[in-house]
Amino acid sequence: MTARLHFADAGEATDLAAFLARLIHYDKAAAVRLQAAGDTLAVFGRPPSFEVLAVRTARLAKPFEHGLDTTLDVTVSAGEFLESVGESVEAVETRGVAAVPQAVTGPPWAGVLPPRGGWRVVEPGLPGMDAVRELVAAAVAEFKARVEELAPESRVRAELDRVGREIWSRSIGGTGVPVRAVHAAQSLGFLRGDGLTLLSSGAWLRVRTAYGSVAVRRAGVGGLTVTPA
């Protein structure tokens, strides 16, 4: 018997499908980790171009249940899950209901997620939403300009990566949040609306919006990753 997710409305499924499509744009073979408890589904993904994890949540019409299971925690193909979620939007007879694909062997990041609780608001936090979007646009423009300044024979992958690391690893003010984190948030459709909150929990910093959130490990403590909204 296949486990199924019942979305609260078509909008939840549509927004989730858009997020999955963006992940697949960066990695055709992307995997996602699904966690459902109660009436909330969290979907974790890792777009390789940004070296971060990203998470989108969706409301469910009723608490998850599958036989005796009242929670879901599985890693699946992002493409297969997108197909299932897409069908839940289009098919009249199964509208709002998506089947959970078969589990796949999870990539290393899927086994290491930040804490679910203990988050507190950091003040003064990040600049406003408009300022953050402008910051991302300026960083993209700088990267393009510096690449154009390179001699053709110098435009090799190692040099492009060096320039990229210098720009995207910069901290935003004194927050410790690297520019690449908000760049990823914008590319994945999270930097919309007005709400932008910076949270912390132990070694982690988290950038949250109404459309998803990313969290990064503080500099000097280890790699980068994210946590759900």
Q: For the segment 149-207, what is each residue's pLDDT rounded down to a tens digit?
A: 999 999 999 999 999 999 999 999 889 999 999 999 999 999 998 889 999 988 888 89
The reported pLDDT for the residue numbered 79 is 96
Domain residue ranges of the chain, discontinuous segments joined by +: 4-108, 120-217
End-to-end CA distance of the chain: 30
- 1.10.1200, 3.40.50, 3.10.150, 3.30.2390: which CATH number matches 4-108? 3.10.150
Residue indicated by tokens 């609780």: 117
Q: Cα–Cα distance between 51 and 226 in angstroms, integer?
A: 10
Q: Is 88 helix (H, G, I), strand (E, B) or coil?
A: helix
Query: Which ranges constitute the DSSP H helices of 57-178?
Result: 78-90, 129-149, 157-168
Q: Give one DSSP letter per residue of 18-54, joined into a string.
A: HHHHHHHHH-TT-EEEEEEETTEEEEEE--TTTTS-E
Task: Classify residue 99 as exposed, middle or buried by CB count within 10 Å of its CB (0-12, 13-18, 19+).
Answer: middle
The reported pLDDT for the residue numbered 93 is 54
For residue 57, the surrounding DSSP H or E stretch is strand 54-59
Classify strands 54-59 and 40-45 as parallel, antiparallel or unpaired.
antiparallel
205 forms beta bridges with 200, 216
Q: Please list the ranges in the chain whose pLDDT falls under 50.
A: 221-229
The reported pLDDT for the residue numbered 103 is 95
